[in-house]
Amino acid sequence: MWKKSSGFFSVFKDHKKSNTSQKPEDLTVASSSHMSNIIQNHDFSNGMHSWYTNCCDATVATSEVTSSRYAIVANRKERWQGLEQDVTSQITSGVSYTLHARVGVSGSHHADVIATLRLEYNGSDTKYMCITRNTVTKDNWENLEGTFVLSDKPSRIVFYLEGPDPGVNLLVESVSVSCASFSGTLGKCNSVEDQNIISNPNFEDGVNRWTGRGCKIGTHESIGNGKVVPKFGNFFASATQRAHNWNGIQQDITENVDRKLAYDVTATVRIFGNNNVQNADIRATLWVQTPDSREQYIGIAKSNVTDKDWVELQGKFLLNGYASKVVIYLEGPPSGVDILCNGLVVKRVEKIPPSPPPFIENADYGVNIIANSDLHGGSKGWFPLGNCTLSVAKGSPYVIPPAAKDTLGPRQPLSGQFIIVTNRSQTWMGPAQTITDKIKLYLTYQVSAWVRLAHGATGPHNVGVALGVDSQWMNGGQVEINDDRWHEISGSFRIEKQPEKVTVYFQGPAPGVGFMVAGFQIFSVDRRARFEQLKQQTDKIRKRDITLKITDPDSSSMHGAMVKVKQINNSFPIGSCISRSNIDNEDFVDFFLKHFNWAVFGNELKWYWTESQRGNFNYKDADELLRFCEDNNIATRGHCIFWEVEDTVQNWVKSLSRNDLAMAVQNRLEGLLNRYKGKFKHYDVNNEMLHGSFYQDRLGKDIRANMFKTANRLDPSSVLFVNDYHVEDGCDTKSSPEKYMDQILNLQEQGAPVGGIGIQGHISCPVGPIVCSALDKLGITGLPIWFTELDVSSENEHVRADDLEVILREAFAHPGVEGIMLWGFWELFMSRENSHLVNAEGEVNEAGKRFIELKKEWLSHAHGHIDEQSEFAFRGFEGMYEVEIVTSCKKFVKRFKVEKEDSQVVVWIEL
């Protein structure tokens, strides 16, 4: 707990008391002047969000007179106990701030209310600054006003209200702390977010404040006989004599950067000095040293640059925890290549208002936008892309493909006519249409067609639907064909920015191989109609018949007593990816613990993390994450023991001989699974085996099954999973459900104890029936299916929310799915951009709100009366419940749990 020390030091300025009451309408005017209020949730309109109690309790009430909300701080046993908010990231030294708060008391006729700052310094005593105080009388709102300036920047600054005697409730209606004026020459306080925190950013003062990271640095007006000159300004800097790729130019920004704030980084860079290297990657990296001497390296941005032109390197970062030192630097090119920098800007991320929900007029759900799809008009409306030949024939299927039928329902039979494509000299050649005027922004379109190789062609060959959107290419679905049958292509796409031209075409087989296309359809998807079906399916699949049998020793019957059942949590596994640095952020932890019951570590358990250098082990991060999960009753998945994709394998592992690699694999298995035996409920044994073959290529086809068998022997308590991506969306021929099932069956035939199927779920523009079709196919195996790394992506938060709802509802309504893991939820800590649910600085966006709404929907509540048999029956989800039973003279509250395995649940409640 926080408690004051005796080292209370003097305030910067004395303040007179103000006993002047203020009318509610006056407060509105006063508040409007504080346009730069740094206090979050200043009027408690969002409950207690961003506020914390100091060893006491707090609730939010609504005034019957003004309808405004206010906080009631109760159960205070010391004067210093009250309400607080961390304002570290909002305060700048040398700046004058003005406080205006409306406070009251109850439980005493009058009491002092004090506004205080708690200033925490690394390695020294905590200090306290009294901003102001006022004597407040009962039943009156009073003003608490004052100003303060900090001469230095502590590592942590907490604003709080305190003062009344123990037992006296503190009331707080609103708090405003705003910037009054700026000391020095930095500018106006309302432009703090626009200020570059880099000193001497354009090298006008030489290399002052800059240092070389293992290399030499200097400044220039030009080099290379005038071939390289600044893009802007008069100077640029160089990092030369680089012996390692991590050498570069750096600046210490410890005093200027705050935790839990997002920063934009822009560097203007190029390379020079080695004629054999014309292009190379330059990276912007943050080196952080924590108070406990832990080192962190945070990648900010990476771009491939050349020795010809200046390039802008752009990225963002956020510090979760406290730091004793923060250094930003540029690195990346091979040794002997100079890094040139013309300027570096690091400033607060601009807060952009969220995008509005898209307005779509006449969505025309289910209407095919392909002209002459049935080919009754021959090839009218179609044109060949390239110099291939199109002709029309008869003999294709009359039924629409299954995934389209699942979406559209019963439809008229197809015409049986098809296009045959011949004389193809390039893989991209095929039949095409221009659909620019038919596409509506933000609608999700489903793609459906029958395809077949021309007679006499032998596979395997990929056939796919592609969309040319101006200069970009989009994947509309793919299928691999290895026989002479008709195959279904099923995919989806969405366009979110107005294009000048959209062309859809078929492509894929090798040059010279002809193919056929029939029943081609592109139609928009009515997601809301699908959701109604899924709600009914969810109730059928996930809910149980629950009967409460109530017994009361004092009464032979409870007939007629009122019953109110409330579900506290749904125990269906819904988890998230977390990283070690995330748990240093209190806001991240708060959201995570409220909304998730499982966790998976992003990198901290992977081999390249735990043993990046041979024999040099790092389990500290994983240990601390595991301890955090255990302390908070969070179940964990082990991701991953191995990763089959070669690009993810450490260089020292790649350099091993066959025998040494086999020994290293065995050591990895024994080291990891013996260390954490019984700790991880799942393991992804060898990640992405459909997309990589590093270990199989070097150690033989038995190695995969042997990994499973060895892992099971070392830790038989853990369920062993396969794990791969694009299984559910129809856009990757390497990972179709059929190929995934073949892989699983092959492993099982070799004795591998495969216990679960992991679908990563990094999906774009999801269509429910396509996802469901893949789940149905995988469900044939009888193995539990988990979405292990789910994320969706859209710049528009409302569209992102819709995408997320599609996947969550499909998964929760499917009997084969037994768990869902999001691949993160916090901005800047996601593998894909525009996929977060919570913005970098803690604001829940539309996707996050939709997620929370679904979690609430999946809680069961019921009320009624106990029947003549002293029973109360209802249907509910698995999880923990609280039941309240009210008789004429008593009220009883009991808790009970519904387990997953129960089909019909009988719960005995003894009163």
Token pair belonging to 822? 């999001």
**pLDDT value at residue 107:** 84
Domain 196-348 belongs in CATH node 3.40.50.300: no
Please check the confidence at residue 12 and state whether its pLDDT lies above 50. Answer: no
CA dihedral 809, 814, 818, 822 (to 10 degrees): -30
Peptide bond connecting 577 to the previous residue in cis, omega within 30 degrees of 0: no
Q: What is the CATH T-level fold of the domain 574-601+624-644+678-838, as seen in this structure?
A: TIM Barrel (3.20.20)
Catalytic, out of 142, 480, 611, 789: 789
State the average pLDDT over residues 440-444: 96
CA dihedral 439, 445, 450, 451 (to 10 degrees): 70
Please check the confidence at residue 856 and state whether its pLDDT lies above 90. Answer: yes
Q: How far is CA 555 from the centre of its chain?
A: 53
Please check the confidence at residue 183 and state whether its pLDDT lies above 60. Answer: no
**pLDDT value at residue 554:** 66
Express each pLDDT in 334-360 by its tens digit: 999 999 999 999 999 988 888 899 999
**pLDDT value at residue 466:** 97
Least confident of 204-208, 636-640, 889-893: 889-893
State the average pLDDT over residues 660-667: 98
Torsion region of 139: left, alpha or beta (phi above 0 gives left; psi -120 to 50 gives alpha): left
Output Rg (C-alpha) for the chain, integer angstroms.
Answer: 32
Confidence of residue 783 (pLDDT cuts 50, 70, 90): very high
Bigger pLDDT: 901 or 600?
Answer: 600
Token pair belonging to 332? 């990346």
Confidence of residue 194 (pLDDT cuts 50, 70, 90): low
Express each pLDDT in 545-599 by its tens digit: 999 998 876 655 678 889 999 999 999 999 999 999 999 999 999 999 999 999 9
Q: In degrees, to the nearest 5, what angle opens at C-alpha 875 toward C-alphas 873 and 881?
A: 85
State the average pLDDT over residues 266-274: 95
Q: How far is CA 857 from the centre of its chain?
A: 21
**pLDDT value at residue 473:** 93
State the average pLDDT over residues 388-415: 94
Share of the chain above pLDDT 90, in %: 80
**pLDDT value at residue 699:** 98
In the chain, domain spans: 24-187, 196-348, 383-525, 544-569+859-910, 574-601+624-644+678-838
CATH class, range 383-525: mainly beta
State the average pLDDT over residues 130-142: 90
Whether 857 is catalytic is no
State the average pLDDT over residues 22-46: 58
State the average pLDDT over residues 812-824: 98
b/e 469-496 (16+ beta carbons within 10 angstroms → b)? beeeebbbbbbbbeeeebbbbbbbbbbe
Cα–Cα nearest to 116, from 9, 41, 43: 9
| Rounded Cα distance, 445 and 467, in Å | 12
Bigger pLDDT: 872 or 188?
Answer: 872
Instruction: Look over the chain and give the mean of its residue pLDDT values, rounded to a whole number.
Output: 91
**pLDDT value at residue 2:** 35
State the average pLDDT over residues 225-251: 95
Express each pLDDT in 74-120 by its tens digit: 999 999 999 999 998 888 877 888 999 999 999 888 889 999 999 98
Confidence of residue 752 (pLDDT cuts 50, 70, 90): very high
Please check the confidence at residue 169 and state whether its pLDDT lies above 80. Answer: yes
Torsion region of 67: left, alpha or beta (phi above 0 gives left; psi -120 to 50 gives alpha): left
Q: What is the CATH T-level fold of the domain 24-187, as seen in this structure?
A: Jelly Rolls (2.60.120)
Please check the confidence at residue 8 and state whether its pLDDT lies above 80. Answer: no
Shared fold status for 383-525 and 574-601+624-644+678-838: no
Catalytic, out of 142, 162, 173, 688: 688
Express each pLDDT in 14-27 by its tens digit: 332 333 333 333 33
Please check the confidence at residue 211 and state whether its pLDDT lies above 90. Answer: yes
Express each pLDDT in 495-511 by its tens digit: 999 999 999 999 999 99
Please check the confidence at residue 721 and state whether its pLDDT lies above 70. Answer: yes
Token pair belonging to 404? 């389209």
Please check the confidence at residue 282 and state whether its pLDDT lies above 90. Answer: yes
**pLDDT value at residue 572:** 97
Token pair belonging to 37? 């209020």
Ordered DSSP codes for 482-506: -SSS-EEEEEEE---S--S-EEEEE
Express each pLDDT in 297-312 by its tens digit: 999 999 999 999 999 9
> What φ, ψ does residue 669 adopt, rounded to 5°?
-60, -50
**pLDDT value at residue 498:** 94
CATH class, range 544-569+859-910: mainly beta
Write down how long the chain is.
911
Whether 488 is catalytic is no
Please check the confidence at residue 623 and state whether its pLDDT lies above 50. Answer: yes
Cα–Cα nearest to 137, from 285, 310, 17, 284: 17
| Rounded Cα distance, 346 and 317, in Å | 10
